[in-house]
Amino acid sequence: MLETGTMAPEFALPDQNGNIHRLSDYRGRKVILYFYPKDMTAGCTRQACGFAERYPQFLEKGAVVLGVSRDSVASHKKFEQAHGLPFTLLSDTDRTVIEAYDAWKEKKNYGKVSMGVVRTTYLIDEEGRIIRAMDRVKAAENPGQMLDMLA
């Protein structure tokens, strides 16, 4: 996991509509950058819907929410539409950003070891510096935790 106090790595990724987003586009705002394994799965849907429910509160506190996974732009669009997600989903099919943010790790599932995206969330300040870093977060709890950190 990246250290708090360090500058967050710059990126350029397409969203669910194919538009490119860069971290630098959000200078002057706090950014909640969360990495999740897969669109339309139970835990990832709980996490995304938790961020969606609290989205007006995030905006009130001057923060933007960006979700990142390896899923395609088309998959993100379906996920957004199926759950009415009001925030940006970024597609990192080649894992460049996922790896830069140290969210690609060894996982164990039912005794099987494999590499994959580990649910990781960063809070980035208005200048692009990491002020909170959390890995192996619980999907249902993470949105509330992040909102509390903005208080």
Q: What is the pLDDT of residue 120?
A: 97
**Which two structure tokens, joined as six digits, stand for 7?**
């500058």
**pLDDT tens for residues 114-150?**
999 999 999 999 999 999 999 989 999 999 999 999 9
**pLDDT tens for residues 25-55?**
999 999 999 999 999 999 999 999 999 999 9
- Please compute the mean of the pLDDT values over residues 84-92 and round it to a whole number: 98
Q: What is the pLDDT of residue 133?
A: 96
**Which two structure tokens, joined as six digits, stand for 80?**
């957004």
**Annotated active-site residue in 23, 32, 33, 44:** 44
Active site residue 49: no
